[in-house]
Structure formats: C-alpha cells, structure tokens
C-alpha cells in the first residue's frame, strides 16, 4: 500500500497540473485535461475510512475463463487469428424458423435430434441434443425449408481485465468521476427515476445497501424467471458504477443520482453466457421499458441472433452501449462493433489507453476503466479493471442525457456523446479513443440546448 500511494498521488498531481492547459482552444490539447480532482475514500458501509476494498483473489478473470473453456471437451473453439478466439457449446444450435413451430412440429424435431433441452423466444429456438454434435445439428436444420438461419449457440464473456490482484487491495479512490467532469454535469442534471438503464450481465445483488433502492423489476433469462440475483459480482459492479446510491453517507457514488437500474441476468456464475440468453435478455429489457442497455460482454463472432436483438432494441429507440473487450487487439468485438451500439474503450489515470483495451475503427468513445471502485455482490465493494468498467460510465451518461432531454432519440443521444467527448490521442477520431474521453458536463449542456 505504501509503494502504491506515491504513484497514485503523482498521477493525481499530474492530472491537476495539465489542467492549466484548459485555456487553450477547444479540442486542441492532446493530453487529458481535468482541473478539479476531488479524492473520495471508498469504504464499506458502517466501517471506518481506513477500510479497504474487497480482496478479489477468487474473482474470475477472462484468462481463467478462456483457459477453462479451452479445456472443456463440450466447448468448441473458433480461432480468428493467432490470439483471438470465440467459443460455442457443443451439441447446441440456435435456430430461427420462418413461423413459430406447432407443438407437433417441435416434438418431431426434438425426437429427430435426440433433444435433451429446448428454449423458445417467438420463432427463435435453442436446441440441445444428447447425441448430435453442433455440426450435425446445423446440417439437419439447414436442410429444412422452414428456417431463416441456424448457427451455434455462441458464448460471450464478461469484459473484465486480467490484472494483478494486489491492485484491487491498493486502489481506494474514485478518480473516475472527476476526470469525466461528472460533478459539473450534476449542476445540469442528477438523473430522473423514470429513465431506466438495463444492465444485461450476471444480474445484480438485489439486497446491496447501495443499490436496493435503485432497482426496478428485472429478469433472469437463463432460468426464465424474475430472480436476477447476482452470483458472480460483475453485474453488481457494473450497476454500481452507473447508479450506486449517491449522497447517502456510505459506499461509492454512482454517475447518476436518480436513474434506476433494470437487472437482467444473462451470464452465469462463471461469468459467461450464450447468445440465445443474451438476445432474450435484450429483447425483454426493451419490451419492459429500458431506455438504455449496458452490455459489458462480448466475443469476436457477429452472431445473427445477437444482431437481431440489437436491431430490435435500436429500432424501439433504446440506446445501446457495449465494452470493446480486453485482449489489446483490433479484432472487432461484438456486440460493440455493431453500428447500432456505442463501443467503449478504457483509459487509465492520466488518459493513456489501458494496456488491455481493444481498439479499432469501430471505437466510439473512451471512459475510465482501471481500478474502478464500485459495489460488489454479497453486500461488498471492490475495485475492478476492464472495458466492462468503462462501458457503464457511458451508459450512465446516456441516462443523464435522456433525463435532461427525454425527447431525444437514441441516435441523437449517441451523437451527443460522440461530439461532446474530449479529444485525446491523435487529433480527431482515432482507433484507440474513438472520438475521445466522454465529458458529462459538455454532453448535458448539449442535450439541454437541443
């Protein structure tokens, strides 16, 4: 802890120093420019200020997840290049029929493929077979004339970065809110409880003291019930960045004071989930009033079922935000790379791109993503790093924009976020930061003028 604090204070001093360049013409400075850094200690509820954040020694990371998937005989691998992979579950297929199946048709198909399980969403079905491989299932379904498409049930991972666990012990400051001008933005809007932000993830800790008053009815797409309780921690952390209860004398502050969270569980305890369930969660959130959907998850396969769910939500006016991924690659990650989605990369304390953050011409904006303190499951708090942590900053901003001006379309909200961002890196849009670091104050001022 003693070795880490000088480094942190140097970073904060550096941010204060470069604030002197604020007088230069708008969008000319190439370094991060923030002139007021208020340091807030993060504590557990009802404990002293010396409390530390949760030790995440047992927290799952993508490297461990990928290794686990790669050694699971039921999981198949798609190698996009030497480094980047996608996965799907063997013996399963997602199939869209031209019309919903009758009970007799479904029974016959389940008999033909020796089905052990099936799920349905309208005329979209997921089948699992006891004996047939995914390849055999796809051959069976693609030979039929009544389908629109058949594809594997791809696996999407939570986009949390793999970093040394000791960082989670040592980082105790919410540096992320001042550098995106959140405090100034709060003078314009602190949010509106009628603007709902859905977190499609591992669920949310429904009893967390910093979140329980900020939640609306949610959904568990895995078990098809109304219990989206978090058994992993990732979704709770994402939700807390957006809307942890602010100004309540405990825990951490959220970007929005008043917007509410819709918890939608689509990722299981191990931190990954299937395209069918994720698509189902997106559709459910859209149909139940979500104005913004945060997707801190992804892989490198542009699954049709996922794209259709994204299109459905976008066409209904939902603002969609997704993490770009944590493999330091320019391989397009989905859903972030879909045109209808705001893609978010991650930065560190002084504005540098996080070493793990994916990049490419599909990146829209950047947001803080290193050592971000937030809520965690089982009534805890933790500091995590990843583009998963960057994405909810943008989702929270989208919620504040709609709170400021609810008449804006999703396209207008996305454009405000892009155009109001603070240009860092190469001049103009670039592959590491997109249009730049989000700026809450600028964005809300622009929304107010519309």
Q: Which residues are catalytic?
A: 201, 234, 388
Instruction: Specify the long-range contacts of residues 45-52, CB closer than 8 Å, at least 24 apart.
Output: 45/209, 45/210, 45/250, 45/251, 45/379, 46/250, 52/169, 52/172
Which of helix, strand or coil describes residue 149? Answer: strand
Biggest alpha carbon–alpha carbon distance for the chain: 72
Residue labelled with tokens 């007021």? 36
Give CA–CA dist 383/389, Å, rounded: 10
Terminal Cα distance for the chain, rounded: 47
* C-alpha to C-alpha distances, 173 to 39, 40, 44, 76, 169, nearest whole angstrom: 6, 6, 13, 41, 11
HSE, side-chain direction, 13 A CA sphere, residue 351: 24
HSE, side-chain direction, 13 A CA sphere, residue 418: 18
Give CA–CA dist 22/171, Å, rounded: 27
Q: How far is CA 313 from the centre of its chain?
A: 16
| Burial (CB count <10 Å: 0-12, 13-18, 19+), residue 27 | middle
């Amino acid at each position: 802890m003693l070795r880490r604090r000088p480094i942190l204070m140097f970073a904060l001093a550096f941010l204060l120093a470069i604030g002197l360049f604020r007088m230069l013409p708008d969008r000319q400075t190439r370094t991060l420019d923030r002139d007021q850094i208020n340091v807030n200690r993060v504590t557990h509820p009802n404990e002293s200020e010396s409390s530390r954040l949760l030790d995440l020694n047992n927290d799952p990371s993508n490297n461990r997840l990928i290794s686990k998937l790669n050694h699971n005989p039921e999981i198949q691998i798609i190698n996009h290049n030497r480094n980047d992979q996608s996965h799907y579950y063997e013996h399963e297929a997602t199939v869209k029929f031209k019309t919903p199946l009758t009970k007799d048709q479904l029974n016959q198909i389940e008999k033909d493929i020796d089905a052990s399980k099936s799920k349905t969403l309208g005329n979209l079905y997921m089948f699992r077979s006891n004996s047939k491989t995914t390849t055999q299932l796809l051959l069976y379904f693609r030979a039929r004339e009544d389908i629109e498409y058949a594809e594997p049930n791809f696996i999407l991972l939570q986009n949390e970065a793999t970093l040394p666990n000791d960082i989670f012990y040592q980082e105790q400051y919410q540096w992320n809110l001042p550098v995106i001008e959140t405090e100034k933005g709060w003078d314009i809007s602190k949010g509106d409880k009628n603007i709902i932000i859905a977190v499609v993830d591992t669920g949310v800790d429904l009893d967390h003291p910093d979140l329980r008053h900020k939640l609306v009815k949610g959904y568990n797409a895995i078990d098809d019930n109304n219990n989206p309780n978090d058994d992993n921690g990732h979704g709770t952390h994402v939700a807390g960045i957006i809307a942890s209860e602010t100004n309540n004398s405990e825990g951490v502050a959220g970007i929005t004071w008043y917007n509410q969270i819709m918890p939608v569980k689509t990722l299981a305890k191990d931190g990954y989930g299937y395209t069918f369930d994720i698509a189902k969660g997106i559709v459910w959130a859209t149909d139940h009033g979500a104005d913004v959907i945060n997707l801190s998850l992804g892989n490198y396969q542009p699954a049709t079922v996922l794209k259709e769910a994204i299109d459905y939500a976008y066409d209904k006016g939902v603002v969609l935000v997704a993490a770009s991924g944590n493999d330091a690659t320019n391989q397009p990650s989905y859903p972030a790379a879909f045109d209808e989605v705001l893609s978010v990369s991650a930065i560190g304390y002084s504005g540098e791109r996080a070493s793990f953050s994916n990049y490419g011409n599909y990146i829209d904006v950047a947001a803080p993503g290193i050592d971000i303190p937030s809520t965690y499951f089982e009534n805890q708090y933790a500091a995590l790093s990843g583009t998963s942590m960057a994405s909810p900053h943008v989702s929270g901003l989208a919620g504040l924009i709609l709170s400021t001006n609810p008449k804006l379309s999703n396209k207008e909200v996305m454009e405000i976020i892009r155009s109001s961002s603070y240009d860092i890196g190469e001049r103009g849009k670039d592959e590491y930061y997109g249009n730049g670091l989000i700026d809450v104050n600028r964005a809300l001022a622009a929304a107010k003028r519309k």
